[in-house]
Structure 1
Amino acid sequence: MLTTTLLLVMAVLLWPAAPARSRLRGIRSPLGRGARRLAHRWVAAVPLSTPSLAVAGALAGALVAGPGGGVAGAVSAGTLWSRWRARRAEALRVSALANLARALRLLVAELRAGAHPATAAEGAAADTDPQVAGVLTAFASTSRLGGDMASALRTISEQQPVLGDALEGLANAWALSERFGVPLADLVDALCADLEHRVRFARQVHAGMAGPRATAAVLAALPLLGLLLGEAIGASPWSVLTTSAPGQALLAIGACLVCAGLSWSNRLTAKAARP
């Protein structure tokens, strides 16, 4: 115990100062950048999908824990990847709607200042996200050429399903403005208010769902904690799971049940937070 304490004290005393750490980072930075480039190229070259990750998880699980471990690894890898993709798609959708709402606010300001719709859309496109800028550029081109704006927006909404509902609303606003003479700025302003309300509601629900999501993650990790506690007290549950037929069956069934619970809870929270 005394030796360990002395070694820890010496390690703290010999810990490099900030200038030394910065010099070390400067020495390692070319290698680190090269490693990151190689990692990015590898990730780009290997197609990451739920089936491929499930196969990789099955191989890893089979090597570690036999056939039951293979089933558990496949189900776990596929479930975690699907869960991550769903969370990422939800975040991208909310971000895209928020960017579109900001861009449409700029469009409304330009329209109320007396600008032509094509000029207003081009001005708004210059100060927004590239994804939304492409939509506004197509809007400006169609308006300048005198094309069918509603059909063009509906075509763009099919190409960008993340913004599908919002673009459908913009197409309806243009159609109402042309048919009944309602000022386009007022209709787009109402659409902006709706989008902002949906984004605000989605973010509030997402924050409110942090507790249930954390609870689901903790409950999913409890079997692993029980396994570690069993090993700590000498019950050897890992040996039972990996060396006997009933253990292999229990390992596969338990992993499937845990992943089913995670998928179910994720589906519930995703439906509640969808804008």
Structure 2
Amino acid sequence: MTAQVQVAFAAALCAGGAAWVVGGRDDALRRARVIFGGDAPPAPHPALLGSLRSAVDRFGWQLGREVLCLPAGLLLALLAGSVLPALAGAAAVPLAGRWLRAREREAAVERCAVAVTVLCSALAGDLRAGLAPHAALAGALRRESWPDRPELADAALPLLAAARFGGDVPAALRSAAGQAGAEGLAGLAACWQVAVDGGAGLADGLDRVAAVLRAEHDQRDDLRAQLAGPRSTAAMLALLPALGVLLGTGFGADPLRILLHTPAGLACLLAGGLLEWAGLAWTSRIARSAEGTS
């Protein structure tokens, strides 16, 4: 078996393992049939898979797209003839997972903020249509699918209970406002506390709350648009070293052998990696500071 065939087989094996973890068994079998042109290899024993899942659940691990760092590191290790890329790929898994989880949390917070704005507008419309405040709140929560959305379910259930059974709605709203992204519910609670006996007055207050929340959302979107340019520039500059390695390989300089098999190359690789991390961390901190002071 030639070296090229070994590399191709290892790449296919790594990609199949990553597809199994990320996409599930059926998707992985379909990919295997496409790659190998025949029947897919037999699946691992169910007991083995059950043991793996129980271990993952026991330690609270969450495997997602970050597991792709493993096959990428293994492929680079095969191409470079060094174990360092494989170790770097394994070390990158928790870091990439933390970054992906942070992105998911930010997206969930943004969806929650938008849902609060929509709820205020929908509730104001129902009040103007003549519904009682408690019935309008319960109907708006169900219509906007709050109980069915993971980022809103914890806040929706106490609100629905208070609205349906005549509970303390302002207290439930203030409690739900402690969730990230749902801070606008505190304004809804204040309006409810003041004007619960008059539906028209409550509707006017909710319109003002919704207008303020929409203005804040538009301000955040504008700030993200302004920061998109610097972030893209930082990401492009961070990828330039990898592009340099590819160009050097294309010119026959073999930079991977120098970087991974010589003391000077290892020193340059370590220094470059530290500088790369420092630059990305500094850029991210500047962006977060700008978003926090907006």
> Which bracket does the TM-score occupy, shorter chain normalised?
0.5 to 0.7
Q: What TM-score, normalized by structure 2, do the two folds share?
A: 0.63
Tell me the residue number matched to 1:225: 243
After TM superposition, give the deviation of residue 201 of structure 1 in Å.
Answer: 1.9
2:26 to 26, 35, 38: 35
Judge conservation of contact 2:77–2:84 (CA < 8 Å) in 1.
no
Q: Relative to structure 1, is the Cα distance of residues 168 and 136 closer, same or farther in structure 2, using a 3 angstrom cutoff?
A: same
Q: Deviations over 1:82-119 (max 9, x none)?
A: 44333333233222222221121110111233321111
Matched, 1:84 2:75: no
Partner of 1:248: 266
Give the one of 230, 244, 253 matched to 1:235: 253
Instruction: Tell me the amino acid that sits aligned with residue 35 of structure 1.
Output: D
1:48 matched to which residue of 2?
62
Which structure is higher in RCO with an 8 Å CA cutoff and minimum separation 6?
1
Q: CA deviation at 1:76?
A: 4.5
Label 1:265 to 1:71 Cα distance change in 2 as closer, same or farther (>3 A).
Answer: farther
* RMSD between superposed Cα atoms in Å: 4.1
Query: Which structure has more helix as a fraction of its residues?
Result: 1
Counterpart residue number, 2:8: none
1:51-62 equivalence runs, <5 A: 56=70, 60=74
Extract unaligned runs of 5+ from structure 1. 1-31
Conservation of the 8 A alpha-carbon contact between 1:71 and 1:252? no
Are 1:199 and 2:217 matched, yes or no?
Answer: yes
Alignment partner, residue 17 of structure 1:
none
Indicate the larger mover: 92-101 or 218-227: 92-101
Question: Distance between the aligned counterparts of 1:103 and 1:218, measured in 2?
Answer: 40
Distance (Å, rounded) in 2 between the aligned partners of 1:183 and 1:53 = 54
State the Cα distance separating 1:256 from its structure 2 match. Answer: 3.3
CA distance, structure 2, for counterparts of residue 252 and residue 192 of structure 1: 51
Corresponding position of 1:96:
112
Partner of 2:39: none
1:154 to 158, 174, 192: 174
Paired residues in the alignment total 238
Shift of 1:137: 5.8
Which structure 2 residues correspond to residues 124-273 of structure 1 after superposition, within 5 A? 124-130=140-146, 131=149, 132=152, 135=155, 138-158=158-178, 161-177=179-195, 183-273=201-291
Counterparts in 2 of 1:85 and 1:264: CA distance versus 1, 3 Å: farther
Contact 1:122–1:136 (CA<8 Å) still a contact in 2?
Answer: no
The runs of 5 or more residues in structure 2 that have no matched partner are 1-22, 31-48
The sequence identity of aligned pairs, in percent, is 31
